Chain A
Amino acid sequence: MIFIFGAITVLLSLRMPIGTFRMAGAGLFPLCLGILLMVLSSIFLLRFLFKKWQNVKKEESPSEIPGSAMQVLFFMGAMILATLFFKILGYPLVSFLLMVALLRILGMKQWPFNISLSLITAIASYFLFVQWLKIPLPKGWIGL
């Protein structure tokens, strides 16, 4: 994947003016970086294949704990939705809904507690950022 990223960088850089080393164009530096990345990722790939060929144990991944990928996906999804509706719904509503969703994903199953905690957080952050620090956060259709 990193090799592909390097290759795409090289291709896109070639569409820019390259110039000479004396008078470099916009594309020269990224072109050099793209080539360097392709070389490095090739070395990495070769080493990986060589290790596999030698039956050396694969490099240990730091996360050995069995985890819940679904939980991460839901968490990420909730954040993306909040970003998409950030301007439309406005900060107070988005912060409330985001908190409800994230707490729920993390196993906060009692709705009254979840909703009240989210409401308190949304109100507190609204007063902190909008009222006290005067940060112009999106008002959305609720107009707050």
Chain B
Amino acid sequence: MFESLQHLASGFTIATTFYNLFYCLIGAIVGTLIGVLPGIGPIAGIALLIPATFGLNPTSAIIMLAGIYYGAMYGGSTTSILLNVPGETASVITCIDGYQMAQKGRAGPALAICAIGSFIAGTIGLFGLVFLAPPLAEAALAFGPPEYFSLMVFGFIVLSNVTGTSLIKSLMMAVVGLIIGTIGLDPVTGDARFTFGSISLLGGIEFVAVAIGLFGIAEVLTNVEKPLEMLEQRVIVPRFRELYPSLQDLKKSITAILRGTGIGFGVGLVPGPAPVIATYSSYMIERKISKHPEEFGKGAIEGVAGPESANNSACQSAFIPLFVLGIPFAPPTAILLGALLIHGVTPGPLLIGQHPELFWGVIASMYIGNFILLILNLPFVPLFANILRIPKKILLPLIILFCITGQYTVNNSVFDIGIMLLFGALGFLMRKWAYEGAPLLLALVLGPKLEVAFRQSLMISHGDFGVFINRPISMVFLLATLVFLAIPILRTVSKYLKKGGIV
């Protein structure tokens, strides 16, 4: 424990260099803007800014990209409260009571409690990360290819289970993502697969293009489809002096913040869109244990404080599987994995030992980033709110221009812009037909790892599939996978029986 604190202190030394502080600040500001602006979320935002980090060292690059991730979470809550439009999916729950508070002239305290709650959650989450990550990394050293394979399968099933309206649709998307991930050179034999003679396809499908297409272009197209008059909304802009919550607000919120932090941290460790599940769970729990549940939905401050803290905490703990196992459990961390690989860093159990400056530097920077966001968000809320006054008919073309330019800068390739547009159109249709993009993107990023783990496992076992169930850790993951597969099936069957489908 003492050793971890020492490492954390050295992490703070790294994170507080002028260079890293600057990139942390940039990440936090850009992230907040991305969270505030509709039409571009943290996934597309991080993907777009990866090329901007090419000239940086890996630590500064990840500090900046991580800043965008949690900055977007802060920004997303601003639009939820002021506009009733969640800047990103994790802020959907904040709309319920946050917007009601704004309607009653209490937008300021709602925004302030979001920032304070997120900061407290960030502080507690930091210690969770510091004390949990190193022992987990040691435990993960026992993982071989079969364990990694089973863990990734488990991740896909859980993610498919908790995203979207239908498990089967999400599973299909995950398999489509895995198939797209096989395009290019075979990672073991070097044979070209599904390239149709194209040199551009030899390197595989650029995941940044898929991320921007599915989550950036598709979102813009969804907005474009709406009738023009629906593109403009009324914005409530709070004044600076109205921002500070009363003592009573703080009293009401503190326990909700602490509960939200605990829920968020736990949820972030398991596969799935952690911030979304964490905010939802926190809201439900707060409403259930509240002495005044009737106030929820009408502007209860606990309904903002709990979910926002859970959101921030989940974002932080989501870094544990990424750093410790090298396996991201949600699309934003999948994009960060891609960024790490581009910078020549392979996350996994050895990361803490091989790149301590990166691991501890990024963790410390997350704390500093939270502090920057706390200082930045409160006084600048009126400014961010004013950005929302830019009409969407101007904002959407600007986002498109930024997406095209950003995509080109990744590989200086027009072909990649084409791929981005293709996935943009696909993402638009997927939204219309209620298919989720998250399993597809995660499968695309993890696909090559999954394939290598699968083939290595079978090589070790001389083609015997028993290798996946004979090893205890792998078996536990597969059993858990079966449970998660069985839950929706049992639910459907019981619903059917209740309806009297079978006599």
A98 to B364, CA, bound (A): 42
Q: Tell which of B188, B396, B400, B405 touches A129, judged by Cβ atoms closer than 8 Å.
A: B405
Q: Tell which of A21, A27, A105, A135 touches B409, judged by Cβ atoms closer than 8 Å.
A: A135
For chain B residues 197-253, which have a beta carbon within 8 Å of chain A?
217, 220-222, 224-228, 230-231
Interface size class of B (residues with CB under 8 A): 35 or more
Interface segment among B36-44, B163-171, B262-270: the answer is B163-171
Instruction: Check A65–B227 contact: CB distance below 8 A.
Output: yes
Is there a chain B Cβ closer than 8 Å to A137's Cβ? Answer: yes
A91 to B405, CA, bound (A): 9
Known: A2-B176, A40-B172, A106-B228. A129 touches B463 (CB 8 A): no
Known: A2-B176, A76-B421. A62 touches B396 (CB 8 A): no
Q: Tell which of B188, B434, B451, B458 touches A22, judged by Cβ atoms closer than 8 Å.
A: B458
Known: A17-B191, A62-B432, A63-B225. A83 touches B175 (CB 8 A): no
Question: Which residues of chain B are near A136, meaning CB under 8 Å?
Answer: 412
Known: A43-B168, A66-B227, A86-B408. A33 touches B401 (CB 8 A): no
Known: A29-B182, A106-B228. A95 touches B401 (CB 8 A): yes
Q: Could you list 24 A-B pairs, sorted by A, with CB under 8 Å?
A: A2-B176, A21-B465, A22-B459, A24-B458, A25-B189, A28-B455, A30-B179, A44-B168, A59-B165, A59-B434, A61-B434, A68-B225, A72-B221, A72-B224, A75-B220, A75-B224, A76-B424, A79-B421, A95-B401, A98-B404, A106-B224, A108-B393, A117-B394, A125-B405
Question: Which residues of chain A are near B188, meaning CB under 8 Å?
Answer: 24, 26
Instruction: Check B168–A47 contact: CB distance below 8 A.
Output: yes
For chain A residues 12-57, which have a beta carbon within 8 Å of chain B?
12, 16-17, 20-30, 33-34, 36-37, 40-41, 43-44, 47
Known: A40-B172, A68-B225, A72-B225. A106 touches B393 (CB 8 A): yes
Which 9 interchain pairs have the tightest Cβ spacing?
A22-B463, A67-B225, A102-B397, A26-B191, A21-B463, A106-B393, A26-B186, A37-B175, A30-B182
Question: Which residues of chain A are near B191, meaning CB under 8 Å?
Answer: 16-17, 25-26
Is there a chain B Cβ closer than 8 Å to A123's Cβ? Answer: no
Instruction: Check B393–A107 contact: CB distance below 8 A.
Output: yes
For chain A residues 82-98, which have a beta carbon within 8 Å of chain B?
82-83, 86-87, 91, 95, 98
Is there a chain B Cβ closer than 8 Å to A142's Cβ? Answer: no
Instruction: Check B396–A102 contact: CB distance below 8 A.
Output: yes
Is there a chain A Cβ closer than 8 Å to B418's Cβ? Answer: yes
Is there a chain A Cβ closer than 8 Å to B287's Cβ? Answer: no
A102 to B221, CA, bound (A): 11
A86 to B409, CA, bound (A): 13
Q: Give, as a whole number of angstroms, the nearest-CB distance from A97 to chain B.
A: 11
Question: Which residues of chain B are near A65, meaning CB under 8 Å?
Answer: 225-227, 230
Q: Tell which of B396, B405, B432 touches A137, judged by Cβ atoms closer than 8 Å.
A: B405
Instruction: Check A76–B425 contact: CB distance below 8 A.
Output: yes
Is there a chain A Cβ closer than 8 Å to B398's Cβ? Answer: yes
A111 to B178, CA, bound (A): 47
Instruction: Check B179–A9 contact: CB distance below 8 A.
Output: yes
Question: Which residues of chain A are near B431, meaning CB under 8 Å?
Answer: 62-63
Q: Give, as a whole number of angstroms, the nearest-CB distance from B357 to chain A.
A: 26
Q: Give, as a whole number of angstroms, the nearest-CB distance from A61 to chain B.
A: 6
Is there a chain A Cβ closer than 8 Å to B417's Cβ? Answer: yes
Known: A30-B193, A43-B168, A135-B409. A80 touches B421 (CB 8 A): yes
Is there a chain A Cβ closer than 8 Å to B2's Cβ? Answer: no
| A-to-B contact residues, CB < 8 Å | 2, 5-6, 9, 12, 16-17, 20-30, 33-34, 36-37, 40-41, 43-44, 47, 59-63, 65-69, 71-72, 75-76, 79-80, 82-83, 86-87, 91, 95, 98-99, 102-103, 105-108, 117, 121, 125, 129, 133, 135-137
A108 to B396, CA, bound (A): 12
| B-to-A contact residues, CB < 8 Å | 51-52, 165-166, 168-169, 171-172, 175-176, 178-179, 182, 186, 188-189, 191, 193-194, 217, 220-222, 224-228, 230-231, 392-394, 396-398, 400-402, 404-405, 408-409, 412, 414, 417-418, 421, 424-425, 428, 431-434, 451, 454-455, 458-459, 462-463, 465
Q: Tell which of B166, B222, B398, B400 touches A63, judged by Cβ atoms closer than 8 Å.
A: B222
Known: A79-B400, A108-B393. A44 touches B221 (CB 8 A): no
Q: Give, as a whole number of angstroms, the nearest-CB distance from B242 to chain A.
A: 33
Known: A5-B176, A68-B225, A75-B224. A29 touches B194 (CB 8 A): no
Question: Which residues of chain A are near B393, meaning CB under 8 Å?
Answer: 103, 106-108
A37 to B439, CA, bound (A): 14
Q: Give, as a whole number of angstroms, the nearest-CB distance from A128 to chain B.
A: 9
Instruction: Check A98–B394 contact: CB distance below 8 A.
Output: no
Question: Which residues of chain A are near B175, meaning CB under 8 Å?
Answer: 6, 33, 36-37, 40
Instruction: Check B179–A67 contact: CB distance below 8 A.
Output: no
Question: Which residues of chain A are near B418, meaning CB under 8 Å?
Answer: 83
Instruction: Check B432–A63 contact: CB distance below 8 A.
Output: yes
A87 to B188, CA, bound (A): 36
Instruction: Check B401–A125 contact: CB distance below 8 A.
Output: yes
Q: Give, as a whole number of angstroms, the nearest-CB distance from A11 to chain B.
A: 11
A47 to B166, CA, bound (A): 11
Instruction: Check A75–B179 contact: CB distance below 8 A.
Output: no
Question: Which residues of chain B are near A87, meaning CB under 8 Å?
Answer: 414
